[in-house]
């Protein structure tokens, strides 16, 4: 499995103003462009803001499993430069994102492609 960036610290990370690109599809080992990993514990107090994300099997794993809280995904640009859905399978936010417990998803947009400038919803 190859990811551009994996975060396993469970509390208090800020990922601001970066570019995360992962051209690799799943068959080549690509997993995500950015992953807030929740392998051993929920993710808490994390901010992902003003980043450019593209590629991987799924573009973003936002760490939103049961027990996760205060995860802010705000003002990011999701790119179609490798795959039409940002990641090979899409964003993945719909299965790994939960509103509540202080979680915020706002002002995220498609960076390019046919939906450029439109909101990206989890």
Mean per-residue pLDDT for 56-61? 89
Q: Which two tokens stand for residue 35?
A: 């992953």
Digit-coded pLDDT (tens) for 10-55 = 678 889 999 999 998 889 888 888 888 777 778 889 999 999 999 9
pTM score of the predicted model:
0.88
The three-state DSSP-derived secondary structure of 70-101 is EEEEECCEECCCCCCECECCECCHHHHCCCEC
Digit-coded pLDDT (tens) for 65-117 = 778 889 999 999 999 999 999 999 998 766 777 777 899 999 999 999 999 99
Is residue 43 within 8 Å of 14, Cβ to Cβ?
Answer: no
């Amino acid at each position: 499995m190859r990811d551009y960036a994996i975060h396993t610290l469970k509390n208090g990370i800020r990922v601001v103003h970066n570019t995360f690109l992962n051209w690799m599809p799943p068959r080549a080992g690509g997993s995500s462009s950015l992953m807030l990993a929740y392998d051993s514990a929920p993710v808490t107090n994390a901010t992902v803001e003003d980043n450019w994300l593209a590629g991987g099997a799924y573009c973003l794993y936002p760490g939103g499993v049961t027990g996760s809280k205060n995860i802010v995904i705000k003002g990011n640009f999701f790119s179609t430069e490798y795959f039409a859905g940002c990641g090979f399978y899409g964003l993945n936010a719909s299965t790994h994102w939960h509103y509540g417990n202080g979680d915020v998803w706002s002002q995220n947009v498609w960076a390019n492609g046919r939906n450029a400038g439109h909101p990206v919803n989890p």
